Amino acid sequence: MRIYLDHNATTPLRPEVMETMERVLRESFGNPSSVPFEGTRARALVEQARDQVAGLLSAEPAHIRFTSGATEANNTLLFGLLAPGDHVVTTCVEHPSVSAPLEVLASRGVRVDWIAPDESGCIAVADVEAAIRPETKLVCVIWANNETGAVQPIAELAALCRARGPWLHADATQAIGKLDVDLTKTRVDSIASSAHKLGGPKGVGALVLRDQATIRPFLLGGGQERGHRGGTENVIGIAGYGAACRAAAATGAAQGETMRRLRDRLWRGIQTGISGVRWNGDPVRTLANTLNVGFAGVAGEVLLQALDLEGISVSAGAACHSGSIEPSKVLLAMGKTPEEARGSLRFSLGQGVDEAQIDRTIELLAKLVPRIRELGEP
Amino acid sequence: MTAIATPERVVVAMSGGVDSSLAAALVVASGAETIGITMRLSASGSRCCSLEDADDARRVAERLGIRFYVANYAEAFGREVIDAFADAYLAGRTPIPCIACNQRFKFDHLLERAKAFGAARVATGHYARISHDPATGRARLFRARHREKDQSYFLFSLRQEQLRQAHFPVGEMSKEDVRREARALGLETAEKPESQEICFVPDGDYAKVVERLRPEATQASGSIVDEAGQILGRHRGIHRFTVGQRHGLGIASDRRLYVVRLEPESQRVVVGDATDLDCSGARVERVGWISGEEPDGPIRVRVQVRHRHRAVGAEVRALASGETEVRFDEPVRAVAPGQAAVFYDEAGDDEVLGGGFLVEGRR
C-alpha cells in the first residue's frame, strides 16, 4: 500500500468525479455546439459544470472560460492582455506556466519587473506597490506556491491594484480547494485554475475573469466558450471538473484542518527524529497540506528515489523531461544555496492520508536520511 | 517494521543501449529486485545523456516491470571528467575519460546510490567478467569471453570493493547473443546501433569540445617539426593531435609522416616516419593492481596500450620515482601519453592484473 504525499503534483480522482465522468463517457457523446438532442445534452453538462466551478469560487458562471488546464489559462491571460510597451509586475516564485510566457513576452518588448520573495517565499505588498508605475498593465502573483505552499497576500494586492489600476492575475491552481478562494470577497481580475489538483481529471481547467472582452482568445476556432476559446469542449473532463468543484465545496474547511494536523505531525516527527532539518517557509503563511523540508547534507534526488522504493511518493525541485532533478528556482529565489535547494523535499498531503502513514514516513526518513548522509554523494 | 535492506536488490546502470538493457533483463530473470538507473552526465547535447537514450532505458524498464530513475551527476561529471579531458588534450596527452567515468561514476557514485536504496550490487552492460575467489575473498577481473567486444581495458582501475559489488551479466555472451536475446524478449533497444564514440564527443570532433571548454585553445598555434628540429609547417593547437596520427597534418611531404610526440611547453608537434613510432618501453603513472597488492619485484605480463591494440609480452618494474617502467618484448607502435597501459596475465592474456596511465613511450 503506497503512501502518496505528492498531492501538489496531482491528486487521485475523487470517487464522485469518477462516477460523473463514467456516466458522461457512457451516456453523452454529443458535441455541445450541435443543435440535435445529443448536442443539447452535452451542452447542458458543460453548463452545469460551469455553475459548479463558479459555485466553488463564488464567481459568475459567465466568468468561467474552460481551458486545457492552468498552463493554458495563464498563457491565455498573458498573451491575451499584454502588448509591447506594457509593464508587468510579477514575482520570482511563479510557476513556469507564468514565468516562461513572461520571458517570451519580455523578449518582445513587454517590460517585466520580478519581485523577489523574503526567505519564507512570500512577497511584500510594499515591494509590489513600489514597482507599480502609471503604465503598469498587470500585476501577476501566484496565489499559493506549488513547491513551498507559501501563500501570497492576494487580498491586500487586490485592494492595491483596485486603487492603482493594474489588472491583478493570480495563478490559483494550488490555492483552490485548500484556501478560501472567494472571488466576491477577494476582487482579483482573473485567476487560473486546474481540475487535477482538487480531485478532478487532468487536461481541464479554467481562466476565470469578469472582463472576458479584454482578453483576446489564445486559441481561435469555432467560437466555443462564447467565442473566447476555440475547440470542441472536453465534455468529459469539464463534467469531472464540475464534480470535483462541487465535492470540494462540500468538504470545505474541515479537510484543511485535518491536513494541518497531519502536516504538523509530520514536521514534529522530522524535527525530533532527524538532525539538520529546516522548514523552507513560514508555517503561518503556508498551505495547510504542504511541507517543504531541507535536509542538510542530503541529495534530495537520492532521498526521493529511496523513499519511492519504500512506497512513499514525494517531490524534489523540478523534474525535467528526462526525469532528473534540478535545484528548485523557487528555493533559490528564497535565498537558499544550490546545495540547500538540492537537499529539499516537498511533502504535500491530501485526501486519504492518515496518521499511520505519516508515522511510517517519519520512521523511514529517520532511517534513510542518516544512511544517505553517510554515503555523501556529489 | 520490515527491514529496508533487502539483500537481493540490484541496481542496473541502464544507458539506453542493448547491452545494459539485456543486463537488466538478466538481473530480473535471476529473481533479484531490479532497479534501473540512467545516469545523466551532462546538461545537454551529448549522446549518452540524450532524452532519447533515457527514454529508451525507461521503456525497457517498463517492459521489464522494474522501477527506473535518472541519477543527475551532470555537475560532478563536468568537473571530474569533461574538464579533465580538455586539460589533458591541452597538455599534449590523449585522455581516456571512460576509465574515470567507470571508476568514479558507474561504480563509486552508483554504488553509493545503490547503498542508499538498500541494494548490494551494481550491474552494468560491460563486456568483461568477474570471479570471486572464496578462499581469499578477492574479486578477479577477466576479459570478456568474446574478445572482439572486450571492455576490460576500461575497467582496470576498479578497486576490490567495487569489483566485489559489480556484476557484468553479459560478460560471457557475444554481441550476437545479446541482440538475439534482447530481440526474443522484445526489448525496444534490440536493434539499436552500437556507439563507438566518447559519449560527450558525439561527432568525434575532440578539438571542438576542447575549444568549447577552454576557449583559449582557439588561439593556440605552434610549429610542426621533424626529429631534427626542421620546421615543416604550422598547426592550430596541439590538442588537435594524437601520437600516431597521420592525417590532418597539413604539410606536403614525400614521406608518410606521423605524429611522434607532442611538446606542450614549446607547443611543437614532432613528426617522423612510421618506424619512429615504435617504442621498446614506456613509463606509466598511477599504477594500480586489481588484487590491491603490489608485486614484490619485476613481473612478466602482457600489456595493452590502446583499447583496440593487441597485448604484447612485457616486464613491469616499479621505479623509485613512484612511476612504473614497462619494457615491451617487441616494438609497440604509437604509445600515446594519457592512454592506459593495462596489464594482463602473461600466460593467458585473460586476467586483468592492473594498469596505469602512460607518461611517455621510450624509443
- Distance CA(B288)–CA(B291), nearest Å, equals 9
B184, B204, B238 - which closes a domain:
B184
CB contact under 8 A, B113 and A377: yes
Residues B49 and B174 in one domain: yes
B356 is a domain residue: yes
Mean pLDDT, rounded, of chain B: 91
Quick check: is B40 in a domain? yes
* B259 and B284 part of one domain: no
Enter the ipTM.
Answer: 0.86
Q: How far apart are CA B154 and CA B69, in angstroms?
A: 25
Q: What is the pLDDT of residues A11-42, one digit of tens each?
A: 999 999 999 999 999 999 999 999 999 999 99
Say if B195 falls within a structural domain. no
Taking 80 as the threshold, does the pLDDT of residue A321 lie above it? no
Start-to-end CA distance of chain A, whole Å, equals 32
Model confidence at A322: pLDDT above 70: no
Based on the residue annotation, tell me whether B101 is a catalytic residue of this protein: yes
- Interface list for chain B against chain A, based on CB atoms closer than 8 Å: 1, 4, 35, 38, 40, 49, 51, 54-55, 58, 67-76, 109, 112-113, 115-118
Residues B242 and B340 in one domain: no
pLDDT at B197 over 80: no
Whole-number pLDDT of residue B336: 93
Q: What mean pLDDT is predicted for residues A90-115? A: 97
User: CA-nearest residue of chain B to A371?
Assistant: B116
Residue B50: its pLDDT value, please? 62
Tens digits of residue pLDDT in B35-82:
999 998 876 544 444 677 888 999 999 999 999 999 988 888 998 999
Would you place residue A378 in the very low, low, confident or very high pLDDT band (cuts 50, 70, 90)? low
Statement to judge: residues B282 and B268 lie in one domain: no
**Radius of gyration of chain B, Cα coordinates, nearest whole angstrom:** 22
Amino acid at residue number A192: A
Domain that residue B60 falls in = 9-184
- pLDDT of B251: 81
Q: Are residues B109 and B179 in the same domain?
A: yes
Q: Which of A207-211, A262-266, A321-325 has the lowest mean pLDDT?
A: A321-325
Query: What residue type is assigned to position B4 of the chain?
Result: I
The structural domain count of chain B equals 3
Question: What's residue A53's pLDDT?
Answer: 98
Question: Looking at the structure, do residues B72 and B167 belong to the same domain, yes or no?
Answer: yes
Using a CB–CB cutoff of 8 Å, tell me whether A364 touches chain B.
Answer: yes
Q: Is residue B351 part of a domain?
A: yes
Cα–Cα distance measured from residue B256 to residue B272, given in angstroms and rounded to the nearest whole number: 8
- The kind and range of the H/E element at A186 are none
DSSP state of A196: G
State whether residue A368 sits within 8 Å of chain B by CB: yes
The confidence band for A324, taking pLDDT boundaries of 50, 70 and 90, is low
CB contact under 8 Å between A326 and B72, yes or no, is: yes
Nearest CB neighbour to B117, from listed A305, A325, A378: A305
B231 in the same domain as B110: no
Please indicate, yes or no, whether residues B260 and B284 belong to a single structural domain of this protein.
Answer: no
Question: Tens digit of pLDDT for each residue in B269-316?
Answer: 999 998 999 999 999 999 999 999 999 999 999 999 999 899 999 999
Find out if CATH 3.90.1150.10 is the number for domain A252-375. yes
pLDDT category of residue B1 using cuts at 50, 70 and 90? very low
Global confidence as pTM: 0.90
Q: How confident is the model at residue A234 (pLDDT cuts 50, 70, 90)?
A: very high
**Residue in the structure block whose three cell numbers are 504538523:** A264
Residue A240 confidence (pLDDT): 98
Q: CATH no. for residue B345?
A: 2.40.30.10
B127-131 CB contacts, 8 Å cutoff, 24+ apart: B127/B19, B127/B151, B127/B152, B127/B168, B127/B170, B127/B171, B127/B173, B128/B152, B128/B155, B128/B168, B128/B171, B128/B352, B129/B168, B129/B171, B129/B172, B130/B163, B130/B166, B130/B167, B130/B168, B130/B171
Contact B140, B130 (CB under 8 A): yes
pLDDT computed for residue B75 by the predictor: 86
CB < 8 Å & 24+ apart, contacts of A326-330:
A326/B72, A328/A147, A329/A92, A330/A92, A330/A93, A330/A121, A330/A145, A330/A147, A330/A148
Query: What is the dotted CATH code of the domain comprising A15-251?
Result: 3.40.640.10
Beta carbons of B21 and B64 less than 8 angstroms apart? no
B198 part of a folded domain:
no
Best mutation target, B47, B72, B73, to test chain A (most A CBs within 10 A): B72
Residue B213 within any structural domain of the chain:
no
Q: In this complex, which of B70, B73, B113 lies closest to A323 when CB atoms are compared? A: B70
- Indicate which CATH number applies to the domain containing B83: 3.40.50.620
- Going by pLDDT thresholds of 50, 70 and 90, the confidence category of residue A285 is very high
Q: Confidence class of residue B18 from pLDDT cuts 50, 70 and 90?
A: very high
Cα–Cα distance measured from residue B31 to residue B297, given in angstroms and rounded to the nearest whole number: 45
Q: Give the start-to-end residue ranges of the domains of chain A.
A: 15-251, 252-375
Chain A contact set for B117 (CB, 8 A): 305-306, 309
- Mean of the pLDDT values across residues A321-342? 85
Q: How close does chain A come to B353, measured CA to CA in Å?
A: 29
pLDDT tens for B74-116 read 888 998 999 999 999 999 999 999 898 888 888 899 999 999 9
Percentage of chain A lying above the pLDDT 90 cut: 92
The C-alpha torsion from A17 through A258 and A149 to A126, rounded to 10°, is 120
Asked whether the predicted pLDDT for residue B5 surpasses 50, the reply is: no
Contacts of B115 in chain A (CB under 8 A): 371, 375
B310-346 pLDDT tens trace: 999 999 999 999 999 999 999 999 899 999 999 999 9
Query: Which one-letter DSSP state was computed for residue A276?
Result: S
Confidence check: pLDDT of A138 > 90: yes
Can you tell me the mean pLDDT for A48-61?
A: 97
Same domain, B15 and B116: yes
- Are B252 and B296 contained in the same domain? no
- B146 vs B163: CA distance, rounded Å: 20
Angle at B194 between CA B193 and CA B195, to 5 degrees: 120
Judging contacts by C-beta atoms under 8 Å, the chain A residues touching residue B40 are 322, 324
pLDDT digits (tens, 9 = 90+) for A357-366: 999 999 999 9
- Percent of chain B, pLDDT > 70? 95
Q: What is the pLDDT of residue B47?
A: 45
Residues A325-347 have a mean pLDDT of 92
pLDDT value of residue B198 = 83
Q: Is residue B238 domain-shared with residue B333, that is, in the same domain?
A: no
Residue that is last in its domain, among B272, B287, B309: B272
DSSP state at residue B43: S
* Residue B48 annotated to the active site: no
In a domain, B214, yes or no: no
Cβ-based contacts of B47 with chain A (< 8 Å): none
With contact defined as beta carbons under 8 Å apart, do B33 and B56 qualify? Answer: no
pLDDT tens per residue across span B173-184: 999 999 999 999
Q: What percent of chain B has pLDDT over 90?
A: 73
Q: At residue B161, does pLDDT exceed 50?
A: yes
Of the candidates B89, B163, B172, B84, the one whose C-alpha atom is nearest the C-alpha of residue B125 is B172
Q: Which residues of A touch B69 (CB under 8 A)?
A: 305, 308, 323
